[in-house]
């Protein structure tokens, strides 16, 4: 075995000594090394492999999976610009040129790299240099990216759960406590059954998109005899068009931490881990402040909230990979394994982090818990319209007057959300369609804007509600191009393990590219594009190993459903829909 | 119903605890296509070709990762499953270069092309970008042509799970995936022992035996002869591949009782001597300091006379025989028999014992 290490790297050794006893230290160790050295050198990685007892080849392969781990030193950072659905409605080439020439006070290499959505669709176009975000609002205006935009006041008469105090300065512990925060963990410790019964009554389901009932999940983990158990907060909000978790963590971090503490005390877990996406560096800082404040106040730690039971929370930072938002990929990522999704069953409730019983919930799910326990499950349940339970937060972006996050009752119509809350299109144009779930839930066309925003109603339309991101496309947009951008994102972010997703997402992207090029006079190579598309959709939906590939057909099926003439015209080579700008993405690689 | 009976395509079939549906189906002789599966490896579930319909499940399940359960009702091979499997094979073919794979000519058909034949599909649909990941690796034995890689990772997994060498890994993500050693170096600079297990499990021509590949010009069909590797005392079962009476390669035998499909670098690749031009083809006797070709009769007479006189003058213990690991097993047997029965010596050994 070649180690190639003559002199041990004292910095890396120090980092390993300091962090190895911490919960799930793998990502933390790599980030600490990269933060110090600027990259992950071979000697450093060999030390890491040795300490974690991971074969060096496996460690190398795992590191290459992520967007933001670097294996080579780079004196100056590249300029990274979001290329995905909401941002590519803008002229990215022009913006790139502008950024290269602008004096932003930050040194960069002058190289522009397009990246996947960094969750700032309400402030297009985000530009990332090093770990600093800028915001290109319009030509000639590049500013520092501000904190997540506070949600607008709710419409008259609308009761909120997650946002009810968010505008009143509950980001600090003091502010949060002045609004009654951190009361529920006592109940969780003294009467866990009551917590479970309130959660079940509330109808709260997983807000990451899968929609599993939260009370049942916690109950399952509580009933597991093996331990130690873990609470994992999925803050790897990576879906294009979703930026609600960023807002909640920025302005209501204590609700999330409190929800996690409740989960710990109910299930018997003593450690909570927030898996935070790399692209939220400002949240990394502010959330750590919130954790430190709560720990200093005795709300977290050895005697959490005076319950006599320990519960502490650590943040683990991702490294850029959409698939790590899939809960089993996330767990593999925390463990230092190759972040492919796991086969399910078994589910994380029985075999989660390090194969131990684990609650994995989304940020929004945890944030809803304290209010539910304060005001009762029936109260939350009653916030929904009709038979629907509770409220949900939707991230609205694209061609919309007031992009941002909105908390509305489940069952609110899409039209009401877009027109009444978000103000409709900025210049009176007609909405042609919107993307759902971010982008992976397909489209809803203008004809169905009255659909109720609840999972079942969207499923009935052949779309998916998912994590609640909605990108609005007005009448001038090219919906084939929009579909292409969505599919391109999935192709970029497919983990590559299962064949249907790895090949299928790329092939559908290429097929859409071919149609778009055909409308500019290039020949269509395929004899029967629609038949090929249908076959690809079928295997993607029915044979993919995880939700990424399974969801991909929502995009093209709803495209064909709402805009059949447009698709046919593209096949016939007559462009009828007018792209707002001449953007032209690269092909699916 | 017994605790270990499930329903497969309308038939009640029994299974053993821990068996996967794929294993049950294959035992029944049911055709279930796979590309990422190898009986020596843990189930992986990546190619998705082995999907089956399971009553009570909305979506098909990969049978290689699905454990048989009491009362489970499974259907294989419905029209829809066959259509999806066929599409998947076409998609996989579309990743590979648009030319005839030379490995088919040299090595015979691979698993991928067998499936293409089975489903009567070619590289006609879903065309687009191809893998383009060929690696120039200067090692003498293993061809790494990742243009033909379908990313089933059987090579990575056999290196990890069976050989425990961990020489190669999967890199990148999605379409931009790859297979590399740590820091993407050459195999010779990695933990690779050149055992060749990766090429033996590869279901396409992406990994191949360099020496065997270039034997395609020798006419005739490949003949396979089962044997036991003579190199060491382990006794690995091997298949000797030959064309026109000329040995062209060695592969491990999956049901070899000792090796169960494993083989080392010597056993798999160390057979150049068989066809070497430096081999002795005539007996030589040193005459006046010079090695001189002689007839077999002369050589045998000379040797027999010397053996007899040595034994008469110095006794049987003056005789010691050592057989070569490169000699056939039959030769080694004859040598020990001769040593014991004719020379009355027990001093016999074989370099393979070491």
Q: Do the domain assignments include residue B289?
A: yes
Distance between CA atoms of A79 and A95, rounded to whole angstroms? 11
Residues B105 and B179 in one domain: yes
> Which of chain B's residues have a Cβ under 8 Å away from the Cβ of A550?
59
| Cβ–Cβ gap A495/B174 under 8 Å | yes
Domain boundary at B213, B242, B260, which?
B213
Residue B230 confidence (pLDDT): 87
Distance between CA atoms of B170 and A519, rounded to whole angstroms? 39
**Beta strand residue intervals within chain B, DSSP E:** 5-8, 11-14, 51-54, 61-62, 73-75, 142-144, 168-171, 178-181, 207-209, 222-228, 237-243, 246-252, 284-287, 290-293, 321-323, 348-350
Mutation to test the B interface, candidates A62, A64, A115, A586, most B Cβ within 10 Å? A64
Q: Do the domain assignments include residue B239?
A: yes
Cα A349 to the center of its chain, rounded Å: 21
User: Is A500 in CB contact (< 8 Å) with chain B?
Assistant: yes
How many Cβ atoms sit within 10 Å of the Cβ of residue B216?
Answer: 16
Give just the sign of the alpha carbon dihedral B257, B261, B264, B268. positive
**Mean pLDDT value across residues A41-48:** 96
| CA distance, residue B218 to nearest chain A CA (Å) | 36
Residues B228 and B321 in one domain: no
Q: Which CATH number fits domain A166-381: 3.30.470.20, 3.40.50.11540, 3.40.50.720, 3.30.70.2190?
A: 3.40.50.11540
How many Cβ atoms sit within 10 Å of the Cβ of residue B130?
Answer: 14
Instruction: State the Cα torsion B301-B306-B309-B315 to the nearest 10°.
Output: -130
Q: Do the domain assignments include residue B92?
A: no
Residues B237 and B315 in one domain: no
Residue B206 confidence (pLDDT): 92
Residues B241 and B337 in one domain: no
Instruction: State the Cα torsion A375-A376-A379-A381 to the nearest 10°.
Output: 140
pLDDT of A587 over the 50 cut: no
CA of B61: which chain A residue's CA is closest? A543
> Which of chain B's residues have a Cβ under 8 Å away from the Cβ of A55?
160, 166, 169, 182, 191
**Mean pLDDT value across residues A550-560:** 97
Residues B139 and B181 in one domain: yes
User: What are the b/e assignments for A223-246, b being 16+ CB within 10 Å?
Assistant: ebeeeebbbbbbbbbbbbbbbbbb
Closest CA to A274 of A236, A239, A246: A236
Residues B258 and B171 in one domain: no
Domain boundary at B213, B235, B256, which?
B213
Residue B354 confidence (pLDDT): 59
Lowest mean pLDDT among A23-27, A177-181, A324-328, A527-531: A527-531
- Residue of B125, B175, B183 with shortest CB distance to A496: B175
| Cβ–Cβ gap B169/A58 under 8 Å | yes
Domain boundary at B46, B77, B108, which?
B77
Residues B25 and B68 in one domain: yes
**Mean pLDDT value across residues A16-31:** 97
The H or E element spanning position A271 is strand A271-276
pLDDT of A367 over the 60 cut: yes
| Cβ–Cβ gap B65/A343 under 8 Å | yes
Count A/B contacts: CB-CB distance under 8 Å.
150
Residue A50 confidence (pLDDT): 96
pLDDT of A583 over the 60 cut: no
| Cβ–Cβ gap B88/A499 under 8 Å | yes
pLDDT tens digits, A287-314 = 999 999 999 999 999 999 999 999 999 9
Q: Do the domain assignments include residue B28?
A: yes
- Residue of A57, A502, A506 with shortest CB distance to B168: A57
Residue A294 confidence (pLDDT): 98
Mean pLDDT by 10 residues, chain B (354 residues): 88 95 96 97 97 96 96 96 98 87 76 95 92 80 92 97 96 94 94 94 92 74 90 92 88 93 92 90 94 96 96 96 89 94 95 76
Mutation to test the A interface, candidates B51, B173, B183, most A Cβ within 10 Å? B173
Q: Does the complex come out with an ipTM higher than 0.90?
A: yes
Task: Give the percent of chain A with pLDDT over 70.
Answer: 96
Do the beta carbons of residue A433 and residue A474 sit within 8 Å? no
CATH of the domain at B199: 3.30.70.20
User: Is A525 in CB contact (< 8 Å) with chain B?
Assistant: yes
Residue A576 confidence (pLDDT): 56
DSSP secondary structure letters along A315-337: EEE--S-GGGGSHHHHHHHHHTS
Question: What is the rounded average pLDDT for all residues in chain A?
Answer: 93
| Cβ–Cβ gap A61/B180 under 8 Å | yes
Cα A521 to the center of its chain, rounded Å: 38
> Which of chain B's residues have a Cβ under 8 Å away from the Cβ of A539?
48, 84, 87-88, 91
Domain region containing B347: 284-353
The arrangement of strands across the sheet holding A271-276 comes to A312-317, A271-276, A230-235, A358-362
Do the beta carbons of residue A507 and residue A335 sit within 8 Å? no
How many Cβ atoms sit within 10 Å of the Cβ of residue A415?
Answer: 16
Residues B290 and B269 in one domain: no
DSSP state of A203: T
Residues B205 and B244 in one domain: no
Q: At A69, is the pLDDT very low, low, confident or very high (cuts 50, 70, 90)? A: very high
CATH of the domain at B61: 3.10.20.740
| CA distance, residue B205 to nearest chain A CA (Å) | 18
pLDDT tens digits, A92-145 = 999 999 999 988 899 999 999 999 999 999 999 999 999 899 999 888 888 888
| Cβ–Cβ gap A56/B189 under 8 Å | no
**Mean pLDDT value across residues A492-504:** 97
> Which of chain B's residues have a Cβ under 8 Å away from the Cβ of A545?
45-46, 48, 62
Q: At A365, is the pLDDT very low, low, confident or very high (cuts 50, 70, 90)? A: very high
Distance between CA atoms of B269 and B210, rounded to whole angstroms? 10
Altogether, the residues listed in chain A come to a count of 589
Residues B37 and B142 in one domain: no
- Residue A437 phi/psi, 5° resolution? 65, 20
| CA distance, residue B177 to nearest chain A CA (Å) | 7
Residue B211 confidence (pLDDT): 86
Residues contacting residue B65 through CB under 8 Å, at least 6 positions apart: A343, B20, B43, B44, B45
Residues B208 and B230 in one domain: no
pLDDT tens digits, A223-235 = 999 999 999 999 9
**SS3 of A146-172:** CCCCCCCCCCCCCCCCCCCCHHHCCCC
Q: At A7, is the pLDDT very low, low, confident or very high (cuts 50, 70, 90)? A: low
| Cβ–Cβ gap A503/B168 under 8 Å | no
* Domain range A479-572, CATH class: mainly alpha
Mutation to test the B interface, candidates A329, A499, A589, most B Cβ within 10 Å? A499
In the three-class reduction of DSSP (H, G, I as helix; E, B as strand; rest coil), residue A141 is classed as strand
Q: Do the domain assignments include residue B135?
A: yes
Residue B216 confidence (pLDDT): 64
CATH of the domain at B271: 2.20.25.90
Q: Do the domain assignments include residue B338?
A: yes
Residue B233 confidence (pLDDT): 85
DSSP secondary structure letters along B155-221: HHHIIIIIS----EEEES-GGG-EEEEGGG--GGGTT-----HHHHH-SSSSEEEHHHHTTTTS-S-
Q: At A520, is the pLDDT very low, low, confident or very high (cuts 50, 70, 90)? A: confident
- Residue of A497, A507, A588 with shortest CB distance to B46: A497
Residue B138 confidence (pLDDT): 85
- Give the residue ranges of DSSP H helices in A223-326: 244-251, 253-267, 281-296
**Mean pLDDT value across residues A556-582:** 79
The structural domains of chain A, with segments of one domain joined by +, span: 10-65, 79-144, 166-381, 391-474, 479-572
Contacts for A128-132: CB closer than 8 Å, 24+ residues apart: A128/A79, A128/A80, A128/A81, A128/A279, A129/A77, A129/A78, A129/A79, A129/A80, A129/A104, A130/A77, A130/A106, A131/A281, A132/A106, A132/A281
* Domain range A391-474, CATH class: alpha beta
The structural domain count of chain B equals 4
């Amino acid at each position: 075995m070649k180690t190639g290490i003559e002199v041990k790297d004292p910095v890396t050794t120090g980092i390993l000594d300091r962090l190895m006893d911490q919960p799930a230290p793998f990502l933390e160790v790599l980030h600490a090394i990269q933060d110090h050295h600027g990259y992950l050198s071979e000697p450093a990685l060999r030390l890491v492999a040795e300490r974690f007892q991971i074969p060096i080849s496996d460690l190398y392969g795992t590191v290459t999976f992520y967007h933001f781990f670097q294996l080579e030193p780079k004196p100056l950072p590249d300029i990274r610009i979001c290329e995905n659905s909401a941002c590519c409605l803008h002229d990215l080439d022009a913006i790139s040129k502008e950024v290269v020439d602008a004096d932003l006070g930050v040194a960069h290499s002058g190289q522009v790299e397009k990246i996947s959505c960094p969750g700032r669709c309400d402030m297009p176009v985000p530009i990332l240099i090093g770990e600093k975000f800028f915001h290109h609002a319009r030509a000639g205006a590049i500013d520092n990216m501000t904190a997540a935009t506070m949600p607008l006041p709710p419409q008259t008469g609308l009761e909120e759960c997650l946002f009810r105090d968010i505008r009143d300065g509950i980001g600090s512990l003091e502010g949060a406590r002045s609004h009654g925060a951190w009361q529920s963990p006592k109940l969780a410790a003294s009467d866990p059954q009551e917590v479970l019964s309130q959660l079940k009554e509330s109808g709260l389901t997983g807000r990451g998109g899968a929609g599993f009932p939260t009370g049942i999940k916690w109950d399952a983990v509580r009933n597991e005899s093996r331990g130690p158990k873990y609470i994992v907060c999925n803050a790897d909000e990576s879906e294009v068009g979703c930026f609600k978790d960023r807002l909640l963590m920025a302005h209501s971090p204590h609700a999330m931490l409190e929800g996690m503490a409740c989960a710990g005390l109910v299930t018997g877990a003593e450690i909570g881990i927030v898996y935070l996406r790399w692209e939220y560096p400002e949240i990394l800082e502010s959330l750590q402040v919130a954790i430190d404040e709560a720990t200093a106040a005795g709300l977290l730690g050895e005697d959490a909230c005076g319950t006599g039971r320990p519960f502490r929370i650590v943040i683990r930072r991702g490294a850029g990979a959409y698939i790590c938002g899939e809960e089993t990929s996330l767990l593999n990522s925390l463990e230092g394994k190759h972040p492919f999704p796991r086969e399910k069953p078994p589910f994380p409730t029985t075999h989660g982090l390090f194969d131990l019983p684990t609650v994995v919930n989304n940020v929004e799910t945890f944030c809803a818990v304290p209010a539910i326990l304060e005001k009762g499950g029936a109260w939350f349940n009653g916030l929904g319209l009709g038979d629907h339970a509770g409220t949900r937060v939707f991230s609205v972006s694209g061609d919309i007057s007031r992009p941002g996050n909105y908390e509305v009752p489940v069952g609110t119509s899409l039209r009401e959300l877009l027109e009444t809350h978000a103000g409709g299109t900025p210049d009176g144009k007609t909405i042609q369609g919107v993307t759902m779930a971010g982008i992976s839930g397909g489209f809803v066309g203008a004809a169905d804007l009255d659909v109720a925003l609840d999972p079942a109603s969207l499923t009935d339309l052949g779309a998916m509600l998912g994590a609640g991101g909605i990108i609005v496309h007005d009448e001038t947009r090219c919906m084939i191009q929009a579909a292409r951008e969505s599919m391109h994102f999935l192709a970029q972010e497919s983990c590559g393990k299962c064949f249907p997703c790895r090949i299928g997402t790329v092939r559908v992207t290429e097929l859409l590219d071919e149609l778009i090029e055909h409308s500019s006079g290039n020949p269509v190579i395929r004899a029967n594009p629609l038949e090929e598309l249908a076959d690809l959709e079928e295997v993607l939906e029915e044979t993919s190993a995880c939700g990424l590939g399974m969801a991909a057909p929502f995009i093209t099926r709803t495209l064909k459903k709402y805009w059949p003439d447009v698709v046919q015209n593209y096949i016939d080579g007559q462009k009828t829909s007018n792209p707002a700008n001449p953007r032209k993405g690269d092909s699916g690689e | 119903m017994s605790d270990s009976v499930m329903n497969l395509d309308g038939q009640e079939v029994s299974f053993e605890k821990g068996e996967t549906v794929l294993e049950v189906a294959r035992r029944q002789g049911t055709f279930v296509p796979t590309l990422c599966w190898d009986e020596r490896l843990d189930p992986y579930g990546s190619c998705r070709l082995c999907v089956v319909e399971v009553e009570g499940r909305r979506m098909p399940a990969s049978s290689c990762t699905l454990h048989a359960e009491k009362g489970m009702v499974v259907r294989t091979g419905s029209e829809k499953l066959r259509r999806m499997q066929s599409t998947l094979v076409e998609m996989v073919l579309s990743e590979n270069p648009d030319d005839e794979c030379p490995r088919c000519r040299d090595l015979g058909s691979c698993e991928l092309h067998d499936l293409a034949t089975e489903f009567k599909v070619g590289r006609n649909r879903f065309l687009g970008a191809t893998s383009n990941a060929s690696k120039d690796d200067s090692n003498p034995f293993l061809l790494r042509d990742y243009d033909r890689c379908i990313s089933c990772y059987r090579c990575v997994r056999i290196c990890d799970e069976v050989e425990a060498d961990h020489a190669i890994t999967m890199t990148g993500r999605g379409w931009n995936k790859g297979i590399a050693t740590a820091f993407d170096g050459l195999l010779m600079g990695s933990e690779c022992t050149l055992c060749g297990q990766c090429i033996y499990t590869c279901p396409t021509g992406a990994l191949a035996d360099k020496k065997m590949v270039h034997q395609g010009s020798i006419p005739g069909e490949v003949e396979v002869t089962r044997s036991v590797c003579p190199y060491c005392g382990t006794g690995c079962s091997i298949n000797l591949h030959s064309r026109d009476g000329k040995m062209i390669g060695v592969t491990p035998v999956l049901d070899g009782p000792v090796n169960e499909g494993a083989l080392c670098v010597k056993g798999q690749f160390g057979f150049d001597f068989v066809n070497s031009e430096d081999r002795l083809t005539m007996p030589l006797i040193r005459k006046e300091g010079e090695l001189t070709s002689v007839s077999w009769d002369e050589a045998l007479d000379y040797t027999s006379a010397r053996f007899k006189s040595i034994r008469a003058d110095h006794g049987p213990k003056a005789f010691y025989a050592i057989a070569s690991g490169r000699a056939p097993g039959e030769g080694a047997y004859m040598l020990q028999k001769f040593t014991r029965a004719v020379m009355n010596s027990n001093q016999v050994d074989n370099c393979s014992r070491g």
